[in-house]
Structure 1
C-alpha cells in the first residue's frame, strides 16, 4: 500500500489529493478550470422556449404596442385603396423615398405582410396566454376552498361572539348565508367540516371539538379577466374577417338622377380581399328631391336644421319603394346601409368652344366650404375641337350672393335666393391624357395659362342663372342654365358583416373588464364550539389586495349567526398567517 493514494469508492479522482489527475481523450484534465458549459437546447427545446416567450404577457403587450406603432404610417401617408391619386402625387414629389416606401408596402399598410404578421402574432400570443389560464381557472373552480386556519386572530378582519344555538345550527345558518339566495350562482363556494378536540399547548389553550365553515368568493374576477381577453380575441378576429368581406362605395347623385349598386357606378369603391362583385344585390336608387332647412334667427343664423333626401329604391324584381335618408338615419337596403354624408349645389353648365361645338355640358358639383355654402368647384373641358387649347375653369358658387363695394362677392345664406357663379379661366393641357389619376374637384394650374385682362389681372366671370357670356381670349362661351339650381347629395354605402359581432365582443369585453376590476376576492372562515353550555363563534376574513368591504362581509356573517347573545368584538388588525 506504500506509495499509493487512498481513493474512497464513489469519489471522483479530481476530488482526491496526492495523485495525478487522469487525462481526458482530448489531452485536457477534468480539473483544468475550464468554464462550465450549458447543455444544448436542441430543436425541441428551442421551439419550447420560443413558444413560452411568444405566449408571455410581456410579449403580448409589446406586440400590442408594436401594432399601434405600425398603424401610424397608415394615418400619415396616403393609402392606395382610399386615395390612389394622392399616392401618385406623393411618388411624383418624393421619387426616391416614395419608391422605397412603396416597396415596403407603406402605401397599403393594413394589407402589407409585415402588418399582417404583427396582427397574427398578437392573435397567437393572446390565444397562447388565454388557454393555459383558462385550464388553470377551470381546475381552481373545481377545487375546494382553503382549509380553516388554526389562529383567526392573525387575520386583518376578526370577530368573536357567543350564541345559544348549537355549533351545527351555526354552521348551517352561516353556510346558507354565504351561499346566497341564488342556488345556480352562489355568492361563496362553501365547505363545512369539523375538527377534533385540541389539547393545551404553550400559550394556546385547550379547545373541544369544533365545527367549521370555509368559504371563498371572487373566482368571477378571474372569469371576467378571461372573458375580457377572449372577447378581445373575438374582436380582433371579427375586425379581420370584416376587413376581408366588407365593401364600401361613395357616389354623388344629383336630383332626378340615380345610380345602380354596381362597382362601375360608384365614384370610389373599396372592398376586402374576399369580396366578390357578383355578391352585390343589383338594386338601383333615384334621388327624387333633396330638402334642407336652415335657421333664420339672429342667434343661430344659417345653422342647419334638417337635411332630407327623398329616394326611390328599385329592387331586382322590379318593385319600387319610396324612402328617406337623413343625417344619422341611414337607409338599409339588402344588408347594406346608405348614409347621407354631404350635400351641395350642382349648377348645370354648358361650354361651347371657339369653333361653335359644345365641348362640355352637364351638372358640376360645387363642394361647400363654410356655413353659408360658399362652394368651390372645377370645370374641366378637354373635349374641344381639334387644334384648340383645352379649357379649365375654377371658382365658386354662391347660393345667396352679395356684391361688395370693392367688387368682391360672398354668400350670405345657404339657400339659393340669389345664386351666382364666380369663375376664373385657364387654358392649356389639362393633363387628362397622361393616364395619371386626377382629383375631379381640383385643377392643377401650374402648367396652365390664366386669362388676363388689359391691366394684367386675372379675368373673373360672373354668371347668374340664364346667363351666357363669352370666354376671354376667344375660347368660346359659357352658359349657366336657367331655373332652380339642382342639388346633389354625397352617399356612402357600407356593408360589413362583422359589425354585429364587433358590438357583441365589445360589450363582452366591457363586462369582463368591469368584473375583473370591481369583483372582490375574499375568504371567510367560521369556527364554532360548545363550552359550558354556550356556543363560541369565531369569524375571520381575508382579501387579496385592498378591500374596504371585508369588515362589512365579516359583520354580515356574524349577523347571520342565530341567537347571538354578545356583540361583536372590535375588528382586529393583524398580519396574514
Structure 2
C-alpha cells in the first residue's frame, strides 16, 4: 500500500498488485496516480502532464546494506520497497491495453513521462519527498489470493476417449487370439494340410481346430471339380 500526497496536499492511497519474479518473492509492480496534482483553482480538471506513478521493487526481507536488488528471504521479516518516481502523461487515456505491473514504455521513450529524482528504498512507515514538495509513503502490504477459473467443455470428451481406448486395450489383452493355416496341393486328388497356432494359453483350442478342419473338409467334398468334370472322392490327409 502506497500513499501519495501531491503538491496541493491531496492524499491518495493505492493498493498495487506486485508480481513476484524469483523464489524469494522479490516482486515488481507499479503504483499509478492519474488524478494527482489537480489544481483546485482550475475547476478540478485533470492535468494529463502532471500525473504521477512509481515503479516499485518489493523486497519481503530487504538486506541491511545495498544493493537492494532482491529479497534475502521470502517471508516478510524486513519488508521494503524500492521506488522510482515518474511524472507526466501515463497514457491511460489512450485506450490502449497495457500491463498493470509496468509503465507504458512508449510514454517514457517519447519523453511524455519522465523520471523524477533517484530510486529510494522505503521501509514500512518511511516517506520520500519529491522535487515539487509532494511525498510518497510506504504503508505496508496486504495479503491477497489469486484464483484461476477455467472451463473446458472438451475435457469430458477427451476423458471418454481415453477410457474407451483403455477398455479396448484391456479387451485385446484378454482376447483369445489364434491362427489356422491351410496348405492345399491340387491334383487328381487334393492334399489338404492344416495347422493351428494359439497365441495365448487356451485349453479349448484343440476342439475349435478340429471343428474348423471338419468344416473345410465338408466344403471340399461338395465343391465342383476345377475342370468341370466329375470329382473323385478320396480321403485327404490332414496334418496338425
Shorter-chain TM-score: which interval?
Answer: 0.5 to 0.7
* Other-structure match for 1:450: 115
* CA distance 1:369–1:554, change in 2 (3 Å): closer
Q: 1:473 to 1:505 in 2, by over 3 A?
A: same
Q: Is the 8 A contact 1:539 1:554 kept in 2?
A: no
Q: Which residue matches 2:119?
A: 460
What per-residue deviation string (whole Å, max 9, x for no partner) do you get for residues 432-483 of structure 1?
A: 111111111111232321124xxxxxx012111122221x33161111225x
SS at match of 1:427: strand
Once residues 354 and 443 of structure 1 are traced to their aligned partners in structure 2, the CA distance between those partners, rounded to angstroms, is: 22
Residues 438 and 349 of structure 1: CA distance in aligned 2, closer, same or farther (over 3 Å) = same
What is the CA distance between 1:495 and its match in structure 2? 3.4
> How far apart, CA to CA, are the structure 1 residues paired with 2:91 and 2:16?
19
Tell me the C-alpha RMSD between the 2 structures.
3.3
Q: State the alpha-carbon separation in 2 of the partners of residues 558 and 521 from structure 1.
A: 13
Contact residue 403 and residue 410 of structure 1 kept, 8 A:
no
Secondary structure class of the residue paired with 2:24 = coil
Which position in structure 1 is the counterpart of 2:138? 480
Name the residue aligned to 2:28.
376
Structure 1 alignment gaps of length 5 or more: 1-347, 453-458, 526-537, 543-548, 562-577
Q: 1:403 Cα deviation (Å)?
A: 3.3
Q: What is the CA–CA distance in structure 2 between the aligned matches of 1:520 and 1:451, rounded to whole Å? A: 82
Q: Does 1:495 align with 2:160?
A: no
Q: Does structure 2 conserve the Cα–Cα contact (< 8 Å) formed by 1:351 and 1:477?
A: yes
Q: How do 1:111-150 residues align onto structure 2 when only pairs under 5 Å count?
A: none
Q: Deviation per CA, 1:482-538, whole angstroms, max 9, x where unpaired?
A: 5xx31111101233455334312222134336656996753448xxxxxxxxxxxx9
Q: Greater relative contact order (Cα 8 A, min sep 6): structure 1 or 2?
A: 1
Q: What CA distance in whole angstroms lies between the structure 1 residues aligned with 2:196 and 2:16?
A: 77
Q: Does 1:396 align with 2:72?
A: no
Question: Helix, strand or coil for the counterpart of 2:131?
Answer: helix
Counterpart of 1:429 (choices 69, 73, 89) is 89
- In 2, distance between residues paired with 1:560 and 1:509? 30
The 1:392–1:446 alpha-carbon spacing in structure 2 relative to 1, beyond 3 Å, is farther
Residues in 2 aligned to 1:480 and 1:422: alpha-carbon distance in whole angstroms: 10
Do the aligned partners of residues 507 and 469 (structure 1) sit closer, same or farther apart at CA in structure 2, a change above 3 Å counting?
Answer: same
Alpha-carbon distance in structure 1 between the residues aligned to 2:88 and 2:137: 21
Rate the CA distance shift 1:446–1:520 in 2: closer, same or farther, 3 A: farther
> Any conservation in 1 of the 2:62–2:68 contact (CA below 8 Å)?
no
Q: Report the counterpart of residue 102 of structure 1 in structure 2.
A: none
CA–CA distance in structure 2, aligned partners of residues 509 and 440 of structure 1: 46
C-alpha displacement of 1:377: 0.8
Alignment counterpart, residue 365 of structure 1, candidates 17, 42, 54 = 17
Which is higher, the Rg of structure 1 or of structure 2? 2
Could you report, residue by residue, the CA deviation over 1:147-200 in whole angstroms, capped at 9, with x for unpaired residues?
A: xxxxxxxxxxxxxxxxxxxxxxxxxxxxxxxxxxxxxxxxxxxxxxxxxxxxxx
**TM-score, scaled to structure 1:** 0.29
Cα offset, 1:426, TM superposition: 1.4
Aligned equivalents of 1:513 and 1:475: distance in 2? 76
* Cα distance between partner residues in 2 of 1:425 and 1:351: 11
Provide the C-alpha distance between the structure 2 equivalents of 1:540 and 1:349, rounded to a whole number of angstroms.
88
CA distance in 1, matches of 2:135, 2:27: 22
Aligned positions, number: 185
1:400 and 1:378 mapped to 2: Cα distance?
19
Gap regions ≥5 residues in structure 2: 39-45, 182-192, 210-240
Tell me which residue corresponds to 2:4: 351
Distance 2:152 2:134 in 1: 49
